[in-house]
Amino acid sequence: MELKPLSEVDLREAIGPINRAVTGHYLPAVRTVSGLRERAQLGVLDLKLSRCAFLGGRLVGTCLIERVDERAHLDAIGVDPLAQQRGVGHAMLEAACCAAEASGVAVLTAEISDSDAAMMATLQSAGFVGGRELGRFELRGPPADLPVPDEIEEVAVRAPATRGQSFVRPVPLTEALETVQRARGAALAEAPFAHQPAVLERLRSRLGCYLLLQLDQDSPVLGAAVLERDRHLLVSLGGHMDRLAPLVVLLARRHGVVAMDSVPEGDPLGQVLSQAGFQRTAVRREMLRRLG
């Protein structure tokens, strides 16, 4: 068996085992060369830590590792059926872990279904241990019938009749993340990889960001949301939990948001999404390996 960094392999060839192994309910179901290249250019997909495996000169497996600062994440792994039961998955993960540790990564995470016994065994053989449950919430029909705030471009002087009402306006990512960080505190620090502010900073060109405001004399901020536009995916949400459901409904109606991934079990975000009409449709287990 020969292992190579993804940086030395043609992406068109490398995504084959990944797409042939697609299972489960988490997006994106199918990877594209342009999508992988974009995430690499944005500094999220790490082509040097990701690995490809060859048997007899034929590419039979690929694992994609995303990395920002001291955190890394197994985005996907695929092994062709004829190469399974030959230790390919374990070998790729071990090579990725060794390279990640050498480059200063402190923890490597993964998310899998509890029903995927084969992948669970592969991760455990590579030193990963099980952690919390993470849910996927999807909109399977229209959102909840809630009154939604008006969407505005700028905060302007409002007539007395509108003071005290809530409004939504687009803002830069930095402004939205400041609100989320104040609201979420320690919970955000422990958020899954895809929700980490440092990851979102790298992906800012793909994101839409909104503040929920109550326009009165002090113009207090009630909450903030960040969505990945192309995937119609909510990736960050925070603020006054009892006020956020109408914001989520607005994002569903006007900006096409249909899902949020990796919501930890017991997180108040799950209740907010349920109030907005989203259903928990899949559960995954977060696995992690601490390095160093």
CA dist 161 and 183 (Å) reads 29
What digits encode the pLDDT tens for the residues 129-147? 999 999 999 999 999 999 9
User: So what's the pLDDT on residue 153?
Assistant: 77
- Sorted by sequence, the CB contacts under 8 Å of residue 223 that are 6+ apart come out as 179, 183, 211, 212, 237, 238, 239, 240, 243, 244, 247
Rounded Cα distance between 127 and 140, Å, is: 37
Site of tokens 């990963």 = 128
Residue type, 187: A
Residue 30: count other Cβ atoms within 10 Å of its Cβ: 10
Position 147 scores a pLDDT of 92
Q: Bridge partners of 138? A: 259, 279
Domains parsed from the chain with CATH numbers: 2-130 (3.40.630.30), 140-276 (3.40.630)
Q: What is the pLDDT along the chain (292 residues), one digit of tens a residue?
A: 999 999 999 999 999 999 887 654 444 567 899 999 999 999 999 999 999 999 999 999 999 999 999 999 999 999 998 888 888 999 999 999 999 999 999 999 999 988 888 889 999 999 999 999 999 999 999 999 999 998 887 655 454 445 568 899 999 999 999 999 999 988 888 999 999 999 999 999 999 999 999 876 566 889 999 999 999 999 999 999 999 999 999 999 999 999 999 999 999 999 999 999 999 999 999 999 999 7
Tell me the pLDDT tens digit for each residue of 237-259.
999 999 999 999 999 999 999 99
**What was the pLDDT predicted at 160?**
44
